[in-house]
Structure 1
Amino acid sequence: MTNLETPRRGALRRFKQHPVAVVSVVFLLLVVVAAVFARPLAGHDPNQIDLLAARQSPSGGHWLGTDSTGRDVFARLLFAGRVSLGVGIASAALAVIVGTLLGGIAGLLGGWADGVIMRLADVFMSFPSLVVIVVVAGILGPSVVTMVIAIGLFQWPVCGRIVRGVTLSLREQEYVLASRATGAGPLWLLRRHIIPAALPPVSVAATLAVAQAIALEATLSFLGLGVQPPAASWGNMLTDAQSLTVIRSEPWLWLSPGIAVALTVLAVNFIGDGLRDAVDPRQS
């Protein structure tokens, strides 16, 4: 008697056949562990100022050197990971929640509700998100909460369109029609039928949203409209490298946060590629 491969096991097997994605998962787990256990791993207070130790190159006492006020760069890098990853995950979660609800409602109700929600999605996608987020942060004031809400609200149309497409393909199925005939409402249908069916493609979109949010957070913090000092993020750590003198003579100030942003965004994108290949029915 042969054992039939379940869809979940098949997806996991295909994901394991994507070596770059597997390595990216390991790397991202290490980044998360380093951020969670930043305090015991850092060895220094990330906000402790020591002007006598300012601009020291990497050494045994300061693995990645110190910045212009004597703060340990390695400690700030670890604590900054908490902020950057937190912003990325929270923004993606907000985008997925809003997109799933609006996309599911648009697909289930159809008619004017579908038209209004999809035109709203077109409006959000027609504006350059970075420019609008900069304007919003300038009006409301820079903060982590403002940044998460602004980034999340400009990413929901991607998930919304995915969920709407899945809903349109399912709403005429017999089991969905039977549920409607027994009095099931839109929210019940979303929870029991639509969301489970849309979960694979939405998970791919969510990983890409995390990568985009991390990059946007770094950009906004670099511009001074994101995480505010003394709190550290990978973006505002790069603000210390705005002069040619620093870039040439003190590379430890910008190399570590720059590499952290680049590798983390690449890892999340590679994981998204692996998930896309794993859940693609054509791979079966």
Structure 2
Amino acid sequence: MSHVSEARRPWKLGIALTLLFVMTATFGPLLYAVDPNAQNLLSVLSPPGAQYPLGTDQLGRDVLARLLHSARYSAGIAIAVVVFSIALGCILAGIAQWTGGMISTSLVMFSDAVYALPGLLVTLLLADVLGGGAMVIVFLLWIVAWPEYFRLSYSVGQQIVNSDHVLASRLAGASGGTIFRLQVLPVILPYLLSLGAISVGRIVLAIATLGFLGVGIAPPQAEWGMMINDLRVYWQISPVQLAAPVFAIVWVVLALLILSQSMPKAKPGLN
């Protein structure tokens, strides 16, 4: 019994940390209704206090307000990338499984080729060429993220498609869409959700990396990586302001890592 309760603790911790982040990103900017782009040059790099709970940055902007708005922005982009990647990966995996032959081989080879690319480096180079902005970042991260979901869906789904109960459904006249919806998707969905949870954390980290390097979200939109880059030269006089976005990134990545590790795992070598 003690082993069961201890096994559930990481799951509960992951759920709690993730829900806290989601609620903060959703309701934080509403409860703390301060303009994140409003500048007050008379209060540059002010320490935390009653007026500014986490202090101000080098332009006198409220760090807490920028932190909360960045959470909503980063979470929205990361979730959008994961949803689009799951959709494309599942669709292409379904096509590969049901058609077979040259189409299946071509899709598998293409996904392997994209998967082998250094995703963050490709995103960095293309973002520098195409410019920043939310839509560009979503598109570029989606392009390099979908092969993971295709490989997972194809590998797990292939075993299900070749099983006896799916063969029986085919002989009974069930369509490919019905079989996928009722017999394949319920099996692969926990694996996709597990991979999606950790992918959201990785994408948030990738967004922060792009922002830190100056090719991510365009200012004045608040973004954690850009906040770190702006405040790093003032770390001696404003350590709290710099630590705030760093802590936020660690919090999100750790929460989703714990959540993912507590969910059903994909087979080794797939992710």
Q: Could you tell me the percent identity over the aligned residues?
A: 30
**What amino acid does structure 1 have at the position aligned with 2:247?**
I
The question of 1:205 aligning with 2:205 is answered no
Please tell me whether residue 262 in structure 1 is matched to residue 250 in structure 2. yes
Measure the CA separation in 1 of the matches of 2:227 and 2:60.
Answer: 13
For each residue in 1:180-201, what CA deviation from the matched residue of structure 2 results, as whole angstroms up to 9, or x when unmatched? 3455444343223221121111
Residues 226-262 of structure 1, C-alpha deviations (whole Å, 9 max, x = no match): 111111121221121342xx12221122200011001
1:211 touches 1:269 (CA, 8 Å); kept in 2?
yes
Show the counterpart of 1:103: 93
- Name the CA distance, whole Å, in 2 between partners of 1:108 and 1:16: 42
Unmatched runs of 5 consecutive residues or more in structure 1? 1-12
Q: Which residue of 1 aligns with 2:210?
A: 220
Q: Give 2:39's aligned residue.
A: 49
Distance 2:227 2:146 in 1: 29
1:251 aligned residue = 239
**For 1:249, what is the secondary structure of its paired residue?**
coil
SS of aligned partner of 1:84: helix
1:269–1:160 CA distance, 2 compared to 1 (3 A):
same
Cα distance change, pair 110–212 in 1 and its aligned pair in 2 (3 A):
same
Cα shift at 1:68: 1.1
SS of the aligned residue for 2:264 comes to helix
> Aligned equivalents of 2:87 and 2:36: distance in 1?
34
Deviates further, 211-220 or 147-156? 147-156
Residue 224 of structure 1, CA deviation:
1.6
Matches within 5 A, 1:57-136: 57-136=47-126
Q: Which runs of 5+ in 2 are unaligned?
A: none
Partner of 1:4: none
Q: Distance in 2 between matches of 1:86 and 1:113?
A: 34
- State which drifts further: 182-191 or 39-48: 182-191
Q: 1:42-84: CA deviations, max 9, x gaps? A: 2421111111111101111111000111111011111110011
Superposed CA RMSD: 2.1
Instruction: State the one-letter code of the partner of 2:191.
Output: P
The alignment of Structure 1 onto Structure 2 pairs a total of residues equal to 265
Please give the alpha-carbon distance, in whole angstroms, between the structure 1 residues aligned to 2:91 and 2:172.
22
Per the alignment, residue 172 of structure 1 pairs with 162
Q: Which residue matches 1:153?
A: 143
Q: Any conservation in 1 of the 2:208–2:226 contact (CA below 8 Å)?
A: yes
**In the aligned structure 1, how far is the partner of 2:244 from the partner of 2:141?**
25
Shift of residue 21, structure 1, vs aligned partner: 3.0
Question: Retained in 1: the 8 A contact 2:57–2:231?
Answer: no
Q: What is residue 263 of structure 2 aligned with on the other side? A: 275
Deviations 1:108-161 (A, max 9, x none): 222212211111111111110111101221222211111112112211122111
Determine the structure 2 residue equivalent to 1:196: 186
What is the rounded CA distance, in whole Å, between the counterparts of 2:31 and 2:150 in structure 1?
40
Q: Kindly indicate whether the alpha-carbon contact (under 8 Å) linking 1:108 and 1:167 is maintained by their aligned counterparts in 2.
A: no
Question: Residues of 2 paired with 1:21 and 1:15: CA distance?
Answer: 10
Tell me, in whole angstroms, the C-alpha distance in 2 between the residues paired with 1:14 and 1:235: 39
Is the CA contact (8 Å cut-off) linking 1:94 and 1:149 kept in structure 2? no
